Amino acid sequence: MNPVPRRRRTPGWLWLGLMSFTALMLLIAYETRWVHPDIHAYFSQSGNLTGQQLATRSRRYLEESLGTLLEDDAPDAVERARFQIELGYSLFDIGLYRNEYACTLPSLRRLDGLYDTLGRDVVPSPALLSQDLLQPIRCLTEIEMNQLDRRSEVTNRFVEETRRHQTLVLAGSLVIYLLGLLFWGMHVYKHRMADRATRESLRWMAQALRDPLTGIGNRSALHDDVLTEPGRSLGLLLIDIDYFKQYNDALGHPDGDRLLRELVALIDRALGGSARLYRMGGDEFAALLHCDGTQPLEQGCAAVVEAVRGAALPHPGHPAGAHVTLSVGGVQFIARRDAFAAAYSAADQALYRVKAEGRDGWQVASGITLPASL
């Protein structure tokens, strides 16, 4: 046995639309959390960039010590200068400066020597002092400048990359948004198509239950309508035109069609517009009305026959030279799937009794014989 091929499921347009909007949200979330690593390092006070601040502070201590030694005559001036040199030294003596700036080690050695000399209470000559302190101060200035340049470079790179990221986010968002709109549009379009197909099917189904010539229901519609009212007491009229063949023969089929339409309007009016009419085929109609007893049914049958009689529609082919007349058979029944065939047959027999008795009249079946199982 061949296995039934499984239909491959593809995501619908609505799902694709939702997926693209989710992708848009993820992209935005990612980009808003993105931070340039160097800038992160800078703001988190770690990494190389902070070195510039240490050099600045170190240089200030060394400049202060130089000023103290050259201009301060207080007895503790040398001690304070030593302390300032010591502070400047500790901020200067870091791995970054040692590794990256050649002037660092000689400067530190000079500061070491000066610190020892001052410890022995010896104040070097201003020329020597200038050499020992100015050289480290110049070195620190160079470091500061360099670190500042580096910071600018990083900032520039950050700005450029931020711009690139923004462009990416903008372009990506635009593409995803447009895709989302497209998918959504496709979903709406498919939905409309499905709606249209459903309406079309319903229209076809309604048409399948209509008689195209007269616009009233057909035989299938009568069956459907009876089944939609289970248990309800209904009256069924079967109506047949007398000598319609002769009418067609005398006036032609187009006039015959016109008569069929005219009679539908007449019957409808005669039944007060409350009955549902059907064309069973050829020149035979049916009418379905709500009635609790046989009396309203008999009144309906009589009204239909009288109305057509009263209209005095010419019938040039009538064998007895009369106008158009109808034969009607009626039955009252309780709407049930298994009772309808018997009811229909009883009304048909009543109709044929009218035909047999000379036409232009009506009869109502006295009672219907239901199948034994009912």
Ligand X SMILES: Nc1nc2c(ncn2[C@@H]2O[C@H](COP(=O)(O)OP(=O)(O)OP(=O)(O)O)[C@@H](O)[C@H]2O)c(=O)[nH]1
Which residues are near ligand X by CB under 6 A? 213, 240-245, 248, 253, 256-257, 260, 282-283, 355
The DSSP symbol for 5 reads P
How many other C-beta atoms lie within 10 A of the C-beta of residue 312? 10
Least Å distance, CB 210 to ligand X, is 14
Tell me the torsion sign for CA atoms 206, 212, 215, 220.
negative
Least Å distance, CB 291 to ligand X, is 26
Least Å distance, CB 193 to ligand X, is 37
In 3D space, the residue among 219, 213, 284 whose CA is nearest the CA of residue 254 turns out to be 213
Least Å distance, CB 335 to ligand X, is 28
The alpha carbon of residue 271 and the mean position of all alpha carbons in its chain are separated, in whole angstroms, by: 50
Least Å distance, CB 359 to ligand X, is 6
Closer residue to ligand X (CB): 354 or 364: 354
Least Å distance, CB 322 to ligand X, is 12
Report the DSSP beta bridge partners of residue 239: 285, 328
Q: How far apart are CA 337 and CA 130, in angstroms?
A: 122
Closer residue to ligand X (CB): 40 or 253: 253
Q: Tokens at residue 15, please?
A: 């799902």
Q: Which long-range contacts (CB under 8 A, 24 or more apart) does 147-150 make?
A: 147/48, 147/49, 147/51, 147/52, 147/55, 148/52, 150/48, 150/49, 150/52
Q: Return the SS3 of 256.
A: helix
Closer residue to ligand X (CB): 77 or 251: 251
Closer residue to ligand X (CB): 257 or 338: 257
Least Å distance, CB 304 to ligand X, is 16
Closer residue to ligand X (CB): 138 or 253: 253
Closer residue to ligand X (CB): 89 or 285: 285
Closer residue to ligand X (CB): 195 or 249: 249
Helix boundaries (H) for the chain:
13-33, 37-43, 51-71, 77-92, 95-100, 104-119, 126-208, 219-227, 244-251, 253-270, 294-311, 340-356
Residue type, 341: A
